[in-house]
Chain A
């Protein structure tokens, strides 16, 4: 079963996640467990996720903290091993691709925290050159320096910045250094884990513009992780909405915003403060995200869902096609969602 959206025939997606899962053992130590007579406890951070990312496009994953989106980012670059399912990188199994330095150099990652993602004891030139040296792309010292200068210019810094240390830069500038480092191995696939959420808005705009520009110029493929729907709208071709380790909706960006189908997607959009101050009344989602260690049975969203009924409490909904989107919701499948439509924005 493939839940990918309209895969173009004949082209291999850059990345294909097939029913991937990642569980973490969060049990107490053995001795404590024996005393308390508890069993093992498993956190299902990612629980059966499938998606494709065609080359040159951006797939975004959105969701609240703890929904597993950052874990997905780490799974697809091999920082975590999968507990189930498999990841295909350009048609090749990820573990094989990771073992081959040529394949490995085609994927890179940009991180959230610009203060933790650069080694504070290294000069910028060494930070940016690290992938070049690690993959042996250039071995002449002058050539490496020249290339680092090019990369820094490409991300809007000066080649002279190379001799400085990370602490001499602002958050936005550090994120540019991070991007320069990611680009230095000439990757085709970039995983961006909340790349702008630690930045101020005015700087966020700079970084988003830079990333879009680089995508057009270098033909990059992005997996973009964010909790900010407005940001996601600006960069994505397709968007997946995650809740408690599962995808609840996967749709083309425009379609998701013009016609959000899953009740959770709609709730997320309603929760965003209204900057235009149109005076629309917001109805906040009630309740909080349950613990992923003991998720509710059936559809995990049912305790907060206005459309939940008996079936939702028992049966786990599967991703099914609804128009141009894939949605995991009994209510949508049965057409029960149409009743509340009028109250929604847009």
Chain B
């Protein structure tokens, strides 16, 4: 059974000019030990999906429909206090900026120990030993000496490791990581990603990895969900999606990544830009930029359809699509 199930999730933002639909009919699930990558352009709704799952949507945003289930139990309608407990114990969160997660006034040891004693049935002494173990695990040298240091005494890369240790130490079943490596340098990124991946594998932790960096996804994720204008446009195994994306948008996205191994005269590009939430067109939201658009795309909104090994929200994969549908 899936650990996390998101069913037809809809998030709305009431504004003075009417209600904006930030997430519309988003559905996916994650199995234990699985890493689901979520990619898309800024504003596509990938971070918001993460925020909705951990119950930290920024007001006035609110869940207006659908369900989020953790181990079969609904968590989208829990009171704040109950959700806070789940957030510490069962769901760990890692954000882009480690400074927002760590309390600058407490030593990292104290933060780790408190987290563990709150959520696990262990005493402070045992927790301290475990904390040192975690710090060593995430690759902090001389962990025993450094456990009583304050966050500002660590460099950016080390701080992000501490954040990861903090997210993992209560042994959650699910980790929501929102751009965990974006603030880091390339050479550090690689270290952190490798570590995250190993840890998730070892502990059987499910992970939702939100990032705009396809490279990170390709290295880490088992499956990928591509988001566009608040909806999932394609979801499937990472290999298939990177190599043979079915949805014209995912294909365009993959093609526009500059290759490292050769110089091309002209990069593939997707013309135009993603519509604003207030101006999402009728039918398929991608219809203004899609090179393979046809009449049905302007009228009806596509559901996720079977497209071979992946599922794509594209009418090309429905019966009766124009010739040459297999992209």
Contacts and interface: CB of A to CB of B under 8 A. Distances in A.
B187 A230 contact: no
A201 B271 contact: no
Contact of A201 (B189, B253, B261, B265): B253
B42 A200 contact: yes
A201 B186 contact: no
**Interface size for chain A: under 10, 10 to 19, 20 to 34, or 35 or more residues?**
35 or more
A268 B186 contact: yes
B193 interface: yes
Contacts, number: 120
B256 A205 contact: yes
Contacts of B304: none
A19 interface: no
A170 B273 contact: yes
A148 B261 CA distance: 39
Contacts of B194: 282, 284
A310 interface: no
Interface in B191-215: 191, 193-194, 212-215
Interface residues of B, number: 45
A224 to B, nearest CB: 13
A275 interface: yes
B303 interface: no
A201 B257 contact: yes
B42 A202 contact: no
A278 B53 CA distance: 33
Contacts of A234: 258, 263-264, 267
B2 interface: no
B268 interface: yes
A346 B269 CA distance: 27
B190 A284 contact: yes
Contact of B269 (A206, A273, A277, A284): A206
A7 to B, nearest CB: 23
Given A272-B215, A275-B214, A288-B158, A205 B258 contact: yes
**CB-CB nearest 3 A-B residue pairs:** A273-B215, A205-B269, A205-B256
18 contacts: A200-B212, A201-B212, A201-B253, A202-B269, A205-B268, A205-B270, A230-B259, A234-B258, A234-B263, A271-B186, A273-B190, A274-B219, A275-B215, A277-B243, A284-B194, A288-B157, A288-B185, A288-B188
Interface of B: 41-42, 155, 157-158, 185-191, 193-194, 212-216, 218-219, 238-239, 242-243, 252-253, 256-271, 273-274
Given A202-B253, A233-B263, 6 more contacts: A65-B185, A203-B273, A204-B256, A268-B187, A273-B193, A273-B213
